[in-house]
Chains A and B, each alone.
Chain A
Amino acid sequence: MRKIRFLCMQAGVICSLILITAKILDWYNPYMDFSGHVVLAQLFLCADMIFLTVTFGKKRRKIRNR
């Protein structure tokens, strides 16, 4: 589980970098619509964050119960 969480964190960083780059490129030329072409990264980031938050909550509860 720890490995999965770690990989999800890295994936979150990657998606964030992609989205920031797309925003910067779109500022120069909004017609290119880079943001529209990396929508999957946006969706993945959302799912990733939900997963990390849920699993982080579970982990905290486990620690508290101990």
Chain B
Amino acid sequence: MKKIIWMMIDLLIAAVIMLMVWLVNYKVPHKWNSAEDTKQVSIEAETQTEIPVQSKENRQSYSSDLHEKFAEHFSNQTEITDTSYRSPDLSIDISYHQYDTGKLDNSENGKHTKYGTNISYVLADIYTADIHCIQTAFAQDTYGVGYSEKLSDMSARLQSVLAVNGDSYSNNRHKDNGTIIRNGTYYRNMPSDAETCVLNLDGTMDIYPPGPIDRQVLEEKRAWQSWIFGPSLLDDQGKAKTSFLTWDYIRQSHPRTAIGYYEPGHYCLLLVDGRQSASRGMFLDEMAAVFEQLGCRAAYNLDGGHCSFMTMQDQVINHPYKPEHEVQDGIFIMERSK
């Protein structure tokens, strides 16, 4: 009897310690210094290259190119419906899709089989004449750990048209936790064991393999946003990959969020519902196949599970399996003047 009591006490103490570790390291909000802050501190120590600011002429030339190229998608005045948005710089079309894969998810000892074989997803087709319309934001406008906010609240705060969750950048607590660039600001530039997706100001999207990324290369390419979650879903020819650089849990079927790239100025955001009978969630190869069919040249998986939300005009437009909960960051498609 005494042994059992001691075992229970051990269990309790271990649980309390783990709870404390989780609360202190992951839940109690604390700000992180961005790479720019660090740069200011050590500015005398080394010669730093300036972050190139896109010149007005360049910005205008990119913008006018894309305006002409995608003229048919834009409108002179803002037009809003439940599933579309048109303005002089932005065009968004939302479409809902559902199909039966005929394939059960037997992983985790059949825990997911109850969700069946159906999949439903929301696709946002986006044309923009200005890459500045693709913004990102941290929860509570703070770069750090322990900060979270509902996507719909963030969307309302930023007055965005369309929003999806991001890569939950602060979940990665390894020392080498990758490169984070948001709206042109470098928050960290560390090596990583995951692929990094970078959106450049000229509208191109690059996916970097694991390892360090040379900041000078990023600066030369005018990196505008970067995400570190992954994996990438398409190969260099735009074909669906069959093996993915990620861990086993992510390979199971899940609710998912992903970004696709067709060409500069043309992107898509994919939001897959999951963990419910109407939609079990997607495997990575299924999502890669969707992007291949769409004709994307690159596609990148963002954080999923209970973080997968898409909002249009501040309303959640996908069907999450639980009520909206708070996320750490998001991608916001918005008018550049906002």
Contacts and interface: CB of A to CB of B under 8 A. Distances in A.
Interface of A: 10, 13-14, 17-18, 21-22, 27-34, 36-38, 41
B43 interface: no
A31 B171 contact: yes
B35 to A, nearest CB: 19
B14 interface: yes
Contacts of B171: 29, 31-32
Interface residues of B, number: 23
A31 B248 contact: no
Interface stretch (B4-12, B134-142, B258-266): B4-12
B173 interface: yes
A10 B17 CA distance: 14
A16 to B, nearest CB: 8
Looking at chain A's contact residues, the main secondary structure is helix
A31 B174 contact: yes
A34 B25 CA distance: 9
Given A28-B249, A32-B26, A10 B10 contact: yes
Interface string B26-38: 1000000000000
B18 A21 contact: yes
Interface in B138-194: 171-175, 177, 194
A58 to B, nearest CB: 24
A18 B171 CA distance: 20
19 contacts: A10-B6, A13-B7, A14-B17, A17-B11, A18-B17, A21-B14, A22-B18, A27-B247, A27-B249, A28-B249, A29-B249, A30-B247, A31-B171, A32-B171, A32-B173, A36-B174, A38-B17, A38-B21, A41-B17
Contacts, number: 50
Contacts of B13: 14
Nearest to B14: A17
B98 to A, nearest CB: 28
Contacts of B173: 31-33, 36-37
A36 B175 CA distance: 9
Given A36-B174, A38-B21, 14 more contacts: A10-B6, A10-B9, A13-B7, A14-B10, A21-B18, A27-B249, A32-B171, A32-B172, A33-B172, A33-B174, A36-B173, A38-B17, A38-B18, A41-B17
B249 A37 contact: no
Contacts of B26: 32
Contacts of B174: 31, 33, 36
B21 A34 contact: yes
Contacts of A13: 7, 10
Contacts of A31: 171-174, 177, 194
A44 to B, nearest CB: 11
Interface in B312-326: none
